[in-house]
Amino acid sequence: MTTKDGIVSKAGSLRAGPFDLGFSIEGSGMPLIVIGSAIYYPRTFSKALREKLRLVFIDHRGFAPARTEYAAGDIGFDTVLDDIERLRAHLDLEHFAILGHSGHGYMALEYAKRHPERVSHVIMVGTGPSHSARHMALADRIWEETVSPARKAIFAREMARLGDDIAARPEERFKSLLIRLGAKSWHQPDFDAAPLWQYVTVNNPVFDHLWGEVFRDIDVRKGLDRLAAPVLLALGRSDYLVAPAFAWDDYRDDFADLTVRIFENSGHTPQLEESDLFDEVLLSFLGTEHG
């Protein structure tokens, strides 16, 4: 256990099959598991939030170093969800809130359905109802009908550079794509996200399977009858990577307790783009404003 800028922190890893799943724990207070990369995601949450919450950042297999060769059976969605439970047990967490950003929102929601006794609150940030063709078409329509020519020009410029990025570093294809998609993912269309991705491991086959297949076909309604925990859906107005907020309208009545918050000056990552407001909304949702 170490102290960083006055904030208690701990880091380590857990071997799961071919992968070393990293974790990083920062802050004190109510525990909040943040699924994704234990390197990338700590960079997106405010220092102030660590003074209110114990943030438990955990890798999934898409971001974890692989020590041996792995096959399709090693990267399925069920296995990824089982890893969350492995890390939960390893870290001796009994009851906690869980947060997933982007596609990790599905991981948070599905884990909570499987382990409702463990999860007090679910937070999904920048997550659409699915990555199906129908929902992606809605995102494309909003992009075409509402976005300024200047933002579209930045997008075209960055996409023209993507091929060279991938040719130079094919093993970082997914990372390169997300960096070049800035005009669709940040309120400030020319925001440079490259520093956020520095030293982050990316396993492309995991993302191809989860984002390209599992999240394309996912039905978030399935199993919601087993989930009583309140769910917060935090969405950025300038997020063109996923379906727009109104795409969730068909699903609202399926949740026992759903709160939706739109961040007007954010894209895909409101916890970084509007950190003060995001912290206020999150802490209010968790009931820890004065904790």
Q: Which residues are catalytic?
A: 102, 239, 268
- Contact of 38 with 200, CB cutoff 8 Å: no
Pick from 78, 118, 100: nearest CA to 229? 118
Q: What are phi and psi of 235, to 5 degrees?
A: -130, 140
- Contact of 259 with 233, CB cutoff 8 Å: yes
Distance of CA 120 to the CA centre of its chain: 18
HSE-up of residue 128 (Cα within 13 Å, Cβ side): 25
Beta strand spans in 79-204 (E)? 96-101, 119-125
SS3 content of the chain, % helix, strand, coil (to 5): 45, 20, 35
Q: Which single residue is written with the structure tokens 């937070």?
A: 123
Dist. CA 127–CA 245, nearest whole Å: 9
- 3 state SS of 49: helix
Dist. CA 285–CA 291, nearest whole Å: 13
Pick from 267, 235, 37: nearest CA to 155? 267
Dist. CA 266–CA 76, nearest whole Å: 31
